[in-house]
A and B are shown apart, each in its own frame.
Chain A
Amino acid sequence: MLDFALWTSMALVVAALLLNVYRLAVGPDMPDRLLALDTMYVNSIALIVLMGLWLNTKTYFESALLIAMLGFISTVAVCKYLLRGDIIE
């Protein structure tokens, strides 16, 4: 049952990532693409967690933690760039 759930979940996350890619490619505007990228980051946390479950290891916990903590900073930087141009002012 767990295996099935794991694979289902993975399939869903994969599908989610593909949707992100779609939005990233299509746009139409910069914030759309940025949103797609940001979501991709978050979804990749899911991917890592699922991998940890699959391999039965906690080695990748920090990777997920780091994405959660730092992933949004790229988004913030691009937003700031679009808003103000100069991101450190």
Chain B
Amino acid sequence: MFKKVLIANRGEIAVRIIRACREVGLGTVAVYSEADRQALHVRYADEAYLLGPAPARESYLRMDKIMDIAKKSGADAVHPGYGFLAEREDFAQACVDAGIIFIGPKPSAIAAMGDKAVARATVVKAGVPVVPGTEDVGNMTNEDLLAVAPRIGFPLLIKATAGGGGKGMREVRAIEEMPALLMSARREAESAFGDGNVYLEKLVEGARHIEFQIMADAHGSVIHLGERECSIQRRHQKLLEESPSPALNEDLRAKMGAVAVKSAQAVEYLNAGTIEFLLDKNDNFYFLEMNTRLQVEHPVTEVVTGIDIVKEQLRIARGRSMSYKQEDVKWTGAAIECRVNAEDPFNGFMPSTGQIVQSIQPTGPGVRVDTGVYPGFEITPYYDPMIAKLIVWGETRAQAILRMRRALEEYRIVGVRTNIPFHQTLMDSHRFMGGQFDTRFVEERFSLEDAVENKESHPEIAVALATLVAHQQTQRAAQIVRRNERDASNWRWVGRWERMHR
């Protein structure tokens, strides 16, 4: 039974894991880069150790340093969160070798599922349907892939074998585009995962992205906690997730859940994991990949089942039986999660960096915000643009949407631009409300500009606001000049004071 958990991650997920550890009485060890000294996970943990400079390669990906800190601090377990080292077999193995509990699956399962090509082969043997693509191959060269591509057929996807989160993923419509796209996919995969390997997969058109949350303990019990609908994506990045999916009924849920459990069993899976499926218009579903770790969007499942997935992970890692059997898992109401990213939806979703000057989170009934940022915290270009997850629960999907609307309107984040207006527009979209969408919806059939055109407009209010702000600036500038005339040396302080005064 371990007593102290090192969290090998940062941001909201590190905070999430610290919370679970604290609630079950476990000690916590944070690690941080030079950019994160003031991060919440450092402030909340019992212990905190510096890893190195801001870039992930010099900090959060430094396995050697993390293992040293684990030993130095006496941590007897490691939680990897998601991203960074979470799906690195060698990291899990290093923990095992050092006698430290890795809170996740065995290295062999990570290896089997972490390499997406091997994963496909493994589940195929277990009788699980997969999307046609490159089979049983690890290190294919560009020449190999170009040769195989026509047999799979276009359109197809290039995917990173070490992948996740859409990084290193490219869609190919014709063979001519492929060489350039292979290059950029490999470059992005190399930079994101330190592994430039890619494979090919047929693009199932009009498909939904449905995933099942799996939990497995060391006593042979494997259960699923239902599905998450993750079709709202942009550039293969999930933007919004919900549970249940508007596309599933009880029968299909049971069928897909059973296949998900079988997939996990195929690799003797342990702890929390996610089976991703594509679901086509005719309710055919295909195994896509397994994420052998906690998922960003796990809260929507927590909210509808009442199960604390991270606490359950800790319980499983301690060698105990799960608190729930399959028949104990009940789903109540509907949950939606919006990922709040520091990016400007009106300017091509360009990342936005800067210091958070103010943050007023929506609260009240049925609202949860998981975040690692707070006023004063600096959003740097080094890490993921996701700064918060806004999760709501409603008795029905319609009520959850209405609640999400009011929560999005309440949320104030000052200092960076965010994609909140994107989510607000999405909540007003009739197709979204009707549950009528697939993974291409955002990119192909949803335009922020068009959608905004149909929204209630307040031109006179905008005019009044802009004019009042401009007027205020003119007045203030005049005052500063006047002060300045009296005493030139004040200038510097006035300027600073103007910026700082709140």
Partners in one complex: no
